[in-house]
Amino acid sequence: MTGFALGAEQEKWCAHLRALSAERLRPLADRGRPGRVNRPLLAALGELGLLERVFNAGALELCLLRESLAYGCTEAETALALQGLGAYPVLRAGTEQQRERWLARVRTGRAVAAFALSEPGAGSDAAALALSAVPEAGRGGGWRLSGEKCWISNAPEADFYTVFARTGEAAGAKGVSAFLVPADRPGLSGEPLDMLSPHPIGRLSFDGVPVRPEDLLGEVGGGFRVAMDTLNLFRPSVGAFAVGMARAALDATLAYTAVRPAFGGVLGDLQAVGHRVAEMATRTEAARLLVYAAAGAYDAGAPDVPRRSAMAKLLATETAQYVVDHAVQLHGAVALQRGHLLEHLYREVRAPRIYEGASEVQRAIIAKELYR
């Protein structure tokens, strides 16, 4: 990438991914059951080598991948992203044994990963976690996990969870450790939540779930850093997901308003419509460039990654909400029909303003970094 312009090969790859998502992955997504893990879709992502790219890609490539898939199939994008989010802590902080057991299966879509951070009383304030990890005497330094996790994507169907629990070395973030917890551990149960989401989201209950020293990800007390490193990588790519949805909504609006008869011409002839479409396009482009800049900063090891990542997620997700909402308005009633692209995007676009740090949290991060 030169400046903020993609190279010819990058543009070609993105075009290939957009076509692939629409032609190969969209049919698999349509055959899935809402609120359930779509394992055939995951297997296809593995066969196509796209899950492998998540773990080998830099931040910019991850953004291009998510944006391009989101343009043609949001379900495929989300399935891919959740595999990365749930398994990246294993890649970054796991032992060789943990990586060998799980990552190959994640890359091929044969194991479903989940990132278990949020709790009923600790969503945006991740340092306020209450899930306890109590040391168990006589087990060589093991722990028992007790408490709940809530709003966990891929729960309760995941094969393993990256779980963040309070081991109590200190207050706040310094007392959190990360664990790799297979779904079949005794005492671990879950239930699905009926959410505005095509993928599963659930609640997990930990009733004295045993974890051993070899289940630890990184160091005791170092779990919050594992979580934040993961989120700093994935936050710009959440923005890329949002940009992909915004671009799809914008293109649909351009195509529709160019031919829809209205007042002796077409909708696009009306100045009010043209100005609104121009605003949608300008905001989408600004968000896209900010996402690419944040990803480039991450890949370059820049010191201001937390601020840039927060800015990218904030602007892109808020922009996507704006663009999709106005796209629906310009389409009128046709966009409210079940199965219409914009009806689908209207449901999908709301959640990214909340998960992986709500917009208000991103603003708080930005302000903190500015005053640092």
Catalytic center residues: 356
**Strands 176-182 and 188-192, how do they pair?**
unpaired
β-strands 201-211, 143-153: how paired? antiparallel
> Which residue type is seen at 348?
E
| Residues 69/21, Cβ–Cβ less than 8 Å | yes
Tell me which H or E stretch contains 155: none
Kindly tell me the burial class for residue 10, based on how many C-beta atoms sit within 10 Å of its own C-beta (0-12, 13-18, 19 or more). Answer: middle
Q: What is the spatial distance between Cα 226 and Cα 173, in angstroms, rounded to a whole number?
A: 11
Phi, psi of 176 (to 5 degrees): -110, 135
On whether the CB atoms of residues 179 and 220 are closer than 8 A, the answer is no
Assess contact for 139 and 212: CB atoms under 8 A: yes
The total number of residues shown for the chain amounts to: 372
| Alpha carbon distance 25, 36 (integer Å) | 16
Distance CA 244, CA 74 (A): 9
Residue 303: both structure tokens together: 């010191």
- Give the closest residue to 64 by CA, choosing from 226, 264, 215, 244: 244
- DSSP characters for 85-107? HHHHHHHHH--HHHHHHHHHHHH
| 81, two tokens | 């992203």
